[in-house]
C-alpha cells in the first residue's frame, strides 16, 4: 500500500527542516524590520535619566599609565564612550571617534574618554595599539562607572558639556558627524 502526501505539504525530513528553517526565517525577517525602522544616532540623543545632571565621577588610571578625572575637564566638551573590544558596532565606530578626537584636539574644545565595559585591560591595550586613539582610556575598575551612568550595553556614549552637565547620549554606534552636530546644537550653533 502506498501513501500519498498532499501537494505542498512537507513530509519526514522535509517537515523537520521546515520547522527548523521557518523560525529562523521569521527571526531574521523581524531583525531586518527592526534595523530598517530603528532610530538614527541623532534621534537617540534625548530624554534619559542623567540629562541635565552633573556628570557622575569618572576617575582612575588610564591604559597609558596616566590618571583621568572628568572634573579636570571643565571648560571643554567630553565624549564619554563606553565600549568593548569584542563589540562589532564599537569597532565600526572607533575610526569615527579617532577622527573626532584628532579634529577637536587641534581646536582644543572637546576630548574623548573611553571606558571599557566588561573587558580585559590587556585586550583594551592591544585594541588601541592596533586601531589608534590617543585619548584617555580606563580599562580597570570601570564597573561602578558603568552603573552610575546606567549603561546596559555598548556602545553607549554621553556628551558632557563644558559646565560638567550631561547634555546628550547616544545608544549604539555613532559618527563624527553625529557628535559634531550634537555639540553644535547643544552649544546653540546648530539649526
Domain range 45-186, CATH architecture: 3-Layer(aba) Sandwich (3.40)
Query: Quick one: which of 177, 181, 184 has its CA closest to 99?
Result: 177
Residues 77, 104: Cα–Cα separation, whole Å: 10
Residues 8, 6: Cα–Cα separation, whole Å: 6
**Does residue 13 have a pLDDT over 80?**
no
Residues 97, 81: Cα–Cα separation, whole Å: 9
Distances (CA, A) of 86 to 117, 127, 146, 150, 176: 10, 10, 17, 20, 21
The pLDDT assigned to 32 comes to 42
The pLDDT assigned to 171 comes to 95
**Does residue 159 have a pLDDT over 70?**
yes
**Does residue 147 have a pLDDT over 70?**
yes
The pLDDT assigned to 38 comes to 41
Q: What percent of the chain has pLDDT over 70?
A: 74
Q: Which residue has the higher pLDDT, 80 or 22?
A: 80
Determine what percent of the chain falls in helix, strand and coil, rounding each to the nearest 5.
45, 20, 40
**Mean pLDDT of the residues in the chain:** 85
Distances (CA, A) of 59 to 71, 109, 116, 136, 138: 9, 20, 13, 11, 8
The pLDDT assigned to 188 comes to 87
The pLDDT assigned to 92 comes to 97
Cell of 155: 556602545
Alpha helix segments (H runs only) across the chain: 12-37, 88-107, 121-131, 143-149, 176-186
| pTM: predicted TM-score of the whole model, two decimal places | 0.75
**Does residue 128 have a pLDDT over 60?**
yes
How sure is the predictor about 19, in pLDDT bands with cuts at 50, 70 and 90? low
pLDDT tens digits for range 49-107:
899 999 999 999 999 999 999 999 999 999 999 999 999 999 999 999 999 999 999 99
Contacts of residue 22, defined as CB under 8 A and 6 or more positions apart, other chains included, come to none
pLDDT (mean) for 2-22: 59
**Does residue 45 have a pLDDT over 90?**
no
Domain ranges of the chain: 11-39, 45-186
The pLDDT assigned to 48 comes to 75
Amino acid at each position: 500500500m502506498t501513501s500519498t502526501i498532499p501537494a505542498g505539504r512537507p513530509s519526514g525530513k522535509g517537515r523537520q527542516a521546515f520547522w527548523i528553517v521557518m523560525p529562523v526565517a521569521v527571526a531574521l525577517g523581524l531583525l531586518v524590520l527592526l534595523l530598517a525602522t530603528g532610530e538614527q544616532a541623532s534621534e537617540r540623543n534625548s530624554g534619559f535619566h542623567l540629562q541635565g545632571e552633573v556628570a557622575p565621577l569618572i576617575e582612575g588610571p588610564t591604559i597609558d599609565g596616566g590618571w583621568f578625572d572628568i572634573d579636570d575637564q571643565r571648560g571643554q566638551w567630553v565624549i564619554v564612550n563606553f565600549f568593548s573590544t569584542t563589540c562589532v558596532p564599537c569597532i565600526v565606530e572607533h575610526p569615527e571617534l579617532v577622527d573626532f578626537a584628532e579634529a577637536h584636539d587641534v581646536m582644543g574644545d572637546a576630548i574623548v574618554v573611553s571606558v571599557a565595559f566588561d573587558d580585559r585591560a590587556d585586550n583594551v591595550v592591544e585594541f588601541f595599539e592596533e586601531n589608534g586613539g590617543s585619548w584617555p582610556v580606563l580599562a580597570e575598575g570601570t564597573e561602578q562607572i558603568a552603573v552610575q551612568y546606567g549603561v546596559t550595553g555598548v556602545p553607549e556614549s554621553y556628551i558632557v558639556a563644558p559646565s560638567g552637565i550631561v547634555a546628550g547620549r547616544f545608544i549604539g554606534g555613532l559618527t563624527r558627524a553625529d557628535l559634531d552636530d550634537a555639540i553644535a546644537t547643544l552649544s546653540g550653533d546648530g539649526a
